[in-house]
Amino acid sequence: MLSCRESIPEKKPEWAIAIHGGAGVITRSQLTPEKEALYRAVLQEALDTGAAVLQRGGSSLDAVEKTIRIMEDCPLFNAGKGAVFTHEGRNELDAAIMDGSNLAAGAVTCVTDIKNPITAARTVMTESPHVLLSGKGASEFAKEKGLEIVDPSYFYTEERYRQLREILDKEKHGTVGCVALDRKGNLAAGTSTGGMTDKRYNRIGDTPIIGAGTYANNSTCAVSATGHGEFFIRYTVAHDISALMEYRGLPLDSAARLVVKHKLVKAGGSGGVICVDGKGNISMPFNSEGMFRGYSTSEGKKGIFIYADEPDRLIK
């Protein structure tokens, strides 16, 4: 007979995926029903794309890259097309990806003409001996590897700019990210962003910094962050969550909450993270008013959420 303390273990999901589309001042009064529906539809499309990869036995890295590409191509988000503008009126993009199975990582920063920075990040990881390439060098590398290069004006369209300026300026967020656990038990994380509106001097945020905005390690978790990057760099947020699990033995959700809801709040750093562990637990805490987010698992548990009063975890 089972004692009270023993319970029949729940089957762990065979795969799990979570996404974010940025955190910030996102409230019901600021999103019209039309805009909200638009966001939900693209988040759903991105999530379904990644879930389909995992469902057919694809790798967490493929799921992360494909999911993020959907959001990079959508002007609603501050990544790829639709990225925010620098002080000088340009778009400078950052992205990173990490493979939790071997701690391989790749990232690009300050790129202005690579259509899908997340793919460039993955190519840096798999086809160069480096982790982080920047600016012109990153473009040269991407060209050599046959990635799609666009004129910098691709990221800017007058009409989109006018349509979106209001949203983006208000929210100043919209970074995209994805974390995934595949059927083989491998974790992966990726993040892509245009950075912070009005940034200057080739400012680099947390997104392409491994351990700050992006981190994955099969023995702990995969993390993708969004928020005020300077704080996420100084508090090495993504790695701190992993370290709390590794060294202090905290469960995923406790580790993520400790960092986002306590450490960052105390420091004044706004934003949030999405994380998944090897058991398929998902944690998505944020300390801002809202965060575009969603998850999906092999057991059919799924949802897209925006506001603070909606779910921010899926824990066994």
Task: Tokens for 250, please give them.
Answer: 């905290």
Q: Does 106 contact ligand ASP by CB under 6 A?
A: no
Residue number with CB closer to ligand ASP (53 or 189)? 189
197 part of the active site: no
Q: Using CB under 6 A, which of 46, 108, 196, 260 touches ligand ASP?
A: 196
From the candidates 67, 109, 123, 175, give the one annotated as an active-site residue.
Answer: 175
Nearest distance from C-beta of residue 138 to ligand ASP, angstroms:
16
Q: Does 82 contact ligand ASP by CB under 6 A?
A: no
Contact 195, 84 (CB under 8 A): yes
Contact 38, 54 (CB under 8 A): no
Contact 62, 53 (CB under 8 A): yes
Residue number with CB closer to ligand ASP (53 or 178)? 178
Interacting stretch for ligand ASP, rule CB under 6 A, among 127-135, 201-209, 214-222, 247-255? 201-209
Q: Does 288 contact ligand ASP by CB under 6 A?
A: no
Its sign, for the CA torsion 196, 229, 40, 260, is: negative
DSSP string across 1-65: ---TT--PPPPPPS-EEEEEEEEES--TTTS-HHHHHHHHHHHHHHHHHHHHHHHTT--HHHHHH
Residue span 8-27 as binding mask against ligand ASP, x where in contact by CB under 6 A, dash where not: --------------x-----
Half-sphere exposure of 262 (CA within 13 A, CB side): 9
Residue number with CB closer to ligand ASP (139 or 193)? 193
Q: Does 209 contact ligand ASP by CB under 6 A?
A: no
Its sign, for the CA torsion 158, 163, 166, 168, is: negative
Q: Does 173 contact ligand ASP by CB under 6 A?
A: yes
Nearest distance from C-beta of residue 1 to ligand ASP, angstroms:
51
Interacting stretch for ligand ASP, rule CB under 6 A, among 128-136, 221-229, 242-250, 280-288? 221-229
Q: Does 192 contact ligand ASP by CB under 6 A?
A: no
Nearest distance from C-beta of residue 205 to ligand ASP, angstroms:
2
Q: Using CB under 6 A, which of 226, 236, 242, 288 touches ligand ASP?
A: 226
Residue number with CB closer to ligand ASP (22 or 280)? 22
Q: Using CB under 6 A, which of 86, 193, 214, 220 touches ligand ASP?
A: 193
153/113 Cα distance (integer angstroms): 9
Q: Does 195 contact ligand ASP by CB under 6 A?
A: yes
Name residue, tokens 């071997």: 102
Nearest distance from C-beta of residue 196 to ligand ASP, angstroms:
5
Nearest distance from C-beta of residue 11 to ligand ASP, angstroms:
34
List binders of ligand ASP among 112-171 (CB under 6 A): none
List binders of ligand ASP among 227-246 (CB under 6 A): 227, 229
Residues at the site binding ligand ASP, with contacts judged by CB under 6 A: 22, 173, 175, 193, 195-196, 205-207, 213, 226-227, 229
Residues designated catalytic:
175
